[in-house]
Amino acid sequence: MSTPRRLLLVNGPNLNLLGIREPEVYGIETLADVEKLVTRTAAERGFGVRSVQSNHEGVLIDAIHAARTDCAGIVINPGGLTHTSVVLRDALTGVALPVAEVHISDVHAREEFRHFSYISDVAVVHVIGEGVRGYASAVTRLCAVITGQADG
């Protein structure tokens, strides 16, 4: 069976407020801008994208579970669930797809509680503090992992 040529883009709680919420931290780009960037970057590498954003953990978990049948990898910005959600981590390990973890801000330079991620040891790609353009970097690096073209 061939590997599906689709990525799942997951954006967690409050990321629907991109461009509005704390623009000094998260920038002025919107979630729609993120989705366009990811779709364009993935298409340049021969991948499609399915996007989901929710403020409800169960919706994200259901989308991750569904990805196991038709996606080759997952790009995720879990938002605040990064620091709290064992069940989100379990969903990612359960589907056994390569994961790229993205954070727009440098979470390690912020409040202490943001320094820990339940996702980091599951992810094969980590992009932190590159702003919205970090999503493109995550897609590029994840596609390289999926296609066997990653360095080292």
CB distance 60 to 95 below 8 Å: no
pLDDT of residue 106: 82
Separation of alpha carbons 128 and 115, rounded Å: 11
Inter-CA distances, 96 with 6, 90, 91, 115, 152, Å: 15, 10, 9, 25, 21
pTM of the model: 0.92
State pLDDT tens for residues 106-122.
Answer: 877 666 866 678 899 99
| Residue 14 marked ligand-binding | no
Q: Check the CA dihedral 25-76-78-36 and report its sign.
A: positive
Pairing mode, if any, of strands 73-77 and 48-53?
Answer: unpaired
How is residue 151 annotated by DSSP? Answer: -
Hey, what are 114's tokens?
């943001």
State pLDDT tens for residues 65-91.
Answer: 999 999 999 999 999 999 889 999 999
Provide the mean pLDDT of the chain: 92
Domains and their CATH numbers in the chain: 6-146 (3.40.50.9100)
| Residue 114 marked ligand-binding | yes
State pLDDT tens for residues 3-12.
Answer: 669 999 999 9
Give alpha helix (H) positions in 1-85.
Answer: 23-26, 31-43, 57-67
| Residue 20 marked ligand-binding | no
The amino acid that residue 65 corresponds to is H
Separation of alpha carbons 117 and 48, rounded Å: 27
- pLDDT band, very low/low/confident/very high, at 1 (cuts 50, 70, 90): very low
Is 35 a residue whose pLDDT tops 50? yes
CB distance 137 to 130 below 8 Å: yes
Rg (CA), the chain: 14
pLDDT of residue 2: 59
Catalytic residue positions, numbered: 26, 103
Hey, what are 40's tokens?
């364009």
